[in-house]
Structure 1
Amino acid sequence: MHAWPASEVPALPGKGRDLKIHDTATQGTITLAPGPVARIYVCGITPYDATHIGHAATYNAFDLVQRVWLDTKRQVHYVQNVTDVDDPLLERALRDGQDWTELAERETSLFREDMTALRMLPPQHYIGAVEAIPGIVPLVERLRDAGAAYELDGDVYFSVESDPNFGQVSNLDAQAMRLLSAERGGDPDRAGKKDPLDPMLWMAARPGEPSWDGASLGRGRPGWHIECVAIALDHLGMGFDIQGGGSDLAFPHHEMGASHAQVLTGEFPMAKAYVHAGMVALHGEKMSKSKGNLVFVSALRRAGVDPAAIRLALLSHHYRADWEWTDEVLAEAVARLERWRAAVSRPDGLPADALVEEIREALANDLDAPGALAAVDRWVDAQNASDGDDESAPGLVSRAVDALLGVAL
């Protein structure tokens, strides 16, 4: 599966700072200092109802991570998956009378278009769950053969008891885990499981549903969590720098994935930091596919909204915050974009070296994008209030806003 084209990232004078980021597992801020190549895995979409603003906010957060690392003169090895076979996708295809593969291909294509328009830097490896199945089957077999998984009516489940570090990603108690498992795709009430929280690794073929050859597992399809594990281990290995996604993935998805990987490899932890973006609401409720209260990037673009304004609207909220999309949020972003473009369109201006360092400092401090925007606002206000004579300043500001914030002026 191919990703989308990369926009050019302008080079800036000097060098950025190491990233301090909030880690869900430790509930604190840690400083990441990767080697020459920083490694990040971000969980991708299930391709239906893409791309809504909640998606865009999540991927914007991890795009900022890439930009901070690139500014430190590191390379970035970024991997993202597409869950192109899963119960919600099959249910949507059945509801709409569509072939599930055509639905997945169409929505994935739309997602690529939206990411390109928003200037999100693409992953080096963009992998669909279906294409990963040949690598998933051996991992499930290894877990089963090691006694870390068991069969139940043809399905194969992972035993959470096999990982002594289970629970250290989300830090939730058993009751909270059970409630979230039922809410987020698990089956804690299924009879016969060793532990209600045990997640499915391999689902035996069901009538009318797609299935693949699972060697000794029989025909079926993989569970949700093992898909990402197989892709991450194949392309990044253990101990990569960031496992990222929305806050609703901390449990069960990232918790279970970490346990799968840790039992498979005998190493801990799977990732140095577990980083989660907040949820976006609309009309007082979390934006979600099940509720249908979605604002789509593609619809905004068709309505003539500049993608740079959409990106500024996302950047105006801290990535970990839960916030609400409103017409006012977008209007403020449109107005900000106009002010910024007017300021950098002048032939000269106020010196901007200090501004570049302010943006760097804000982003290195747990991706404080609102702080970075405020710094640019101050330079723009000063630029409009006085006459500067630095001919290089407007160009430097434009390059910095593009390189570090992904906004083309």
Structure 2
Amino acid sequence: MAKKVLSGSATAVAVLLLCSTLQLAAAIKDGLLPNGNFEEKPKASDLKGTQVMSRYAIPSWEVTGFVEYIESGHKQGDMLLVVPEGAYAVRLGNEASIKQTLNVTKGVYYSITFCAARTCAQDERLNVSVTPDFGVLPVQTAYSSTGWDCYAWAFLALFERVTLVIHNTGMEEDAACGPLIDAVAIKTLFPPSLTKENLLKNRGFEEGPYVVPNTTWGVLIPPNIEDDHSPLPGWMVESLKAVKYIDSDHFSVPQGTRAVELVAGKESALAQVVRTIPGKSYALTFSVGDAGNGCEGSMVVEAFAARSTVKVPYVSSGRGGYKRAVLRFVAIAERTRVVFLSTYYHTKTDGSLCGPVVDDASVLSVRSPTSRRRR
């Protein structure tokens, strides 16, 4: 059988194809997606005013429906549109979507972070999906005074190539009414395992979604997030409103570099289910503080486990600080739900929602007073 010998040019082409294949096969790195901040502009010929007229006009993205390319400072009626990261963002009008295909590692968990701002629609929701998973994220509540909030959503990669879609399901009389989107990023999640020292997973919230640099409003973990696909591994948001994931670069954090701010009173609850032995005594210890973000006043964090509860008061000056608290409980089942929530709503002077910070939580088995007396 004759051997086929490649010429020099053919060899070069083969090498380029191999390098291209290897590049495609490499999983995407943590951080902004390619053109995740939309700073690479469409060609002028692909725009009609602000409307994107071509499906592939925005580099690295595919768009469908009424999508606009918005420059920071763009005026809409009496409203001035600002952009949190760079100078450009996109707006998703009626039934509009943006999508990007990602190379990921099959069987690995990932978290998507993106920033969104309401414009003129009243009940704005975004459908975020990576086949076969999807989530509907409400964005009508503004948690920050800027109007921009960053959200996190997680998925388990079932394939090596997946397509991320952010879709506005709204139908308004004005097709241009819809949320602004910017700073779309990804982060690989490494769900922490249980240890003998602590029955809680991710006790200090160190494992969590990507925090966009130079944004000062943290990342919202949306309501009704279950622990099997949570962007905050191990934890669930069992409430109507989100909780806020904060970092030590922009906030005061009791321990480590990450914590959670309970920003919506009793509508903002954080929970985790731990394995326990019925009849055995346990101690839940945790830190309560403030984020150093000007959130002042008398705060109370409530913690629940089994049939026990504790209310931890904390007077915040808005400049940071924390105290330690403990809840002792006796397990009544093999699974015990641990819940944290804020008793009251709090707002800063600019009207933005805020609240107490929870961090450094642990559940340990302890000897009950009865067992000590018997010894």
* Greater relative contact order (CA < 8 Å, ≥ 6 in sequence): 1
Which is richer in strand? 2
Larger radius of gyration: 2
With the shorter chain as reference, the TM-score category is under 0.3
TM-score, with structure 1 as normaliser: 0.23
Which is richer in helix? 1
